[in-house]
Amino acid sequence: MIVYNEKFQVETGHAHVTVLDVTKQVREIAAKSGVQNGNILVYTGHTSCSVQIQEFSDGQTLWGTELIMQDLINCLAKIAPTCTNENMYLHPNLEHVKGAMEERDERPEWCLNTDGHIRSVIMGRSVTIPIIDGEIQLGEFGLVYFADWDQVRSRTRTVITQVMGI
């Protein structure tokens, strides 16, 4: 059995949710692994991000977000509205903000990302895709997307993949 691990990074924006098509990277990693039959796990360790499979959508917003993904963003914003002030959610409390400022040199407003954490839990932080005869099985229209639900600042995010099979 082959087990192959590889990470790659993506850059996300601020002031809006960032959704990126990472299908090309996932296909390349699956091919590089040499696995003909197995699975590829695509995962993020970031607790305000998610990975999902969705179809391509013609058209984009001014931020460059595909329309079907913007529909998803709009839907999730009704469930977990964008955090705009420190009293909107119970998290973060003052102790959390002070710790972030002292231990990680963060600005206090960077802690206003509770909505991103909730959306990440709803959407999930990983997908597992079958590999059959050397091809990832996404269906006719499926693409792999990475979403950063944290809108408070630009970030470099890491996507972790693990390919297992024969």
Question: Residues 40-64: pLDDT tens digits?
Answer: 999 999 999 999 999 999 999 998 9
For residue 43, the SS3 value is strand
pTM score of the predicted model: 0.93
Beta strand 38-43 pairing with 155-165:
antiparallel
Question: Minimal CA–CA distance to 20: which of 46, 52, 58?
Answer: 52
The alpha carbon of residue 72 and the mean position of all alpha carbons in its chain are separated, in whole angstroms, by 13
Q: Are 146 and 19 in contact (CB under 8 A)?
A: yes
Instruction: Indicate the class that CATH gives domain 2-165.
Output: mainly beta
Query: What gap in Å lies between CA 137 and CA 23, rounded to an integer?
Result: 11
Tokens of 16: 């809006």
Q: What band does 95 get if pLDDT is binned at 50, 70 and 90?
A: confident
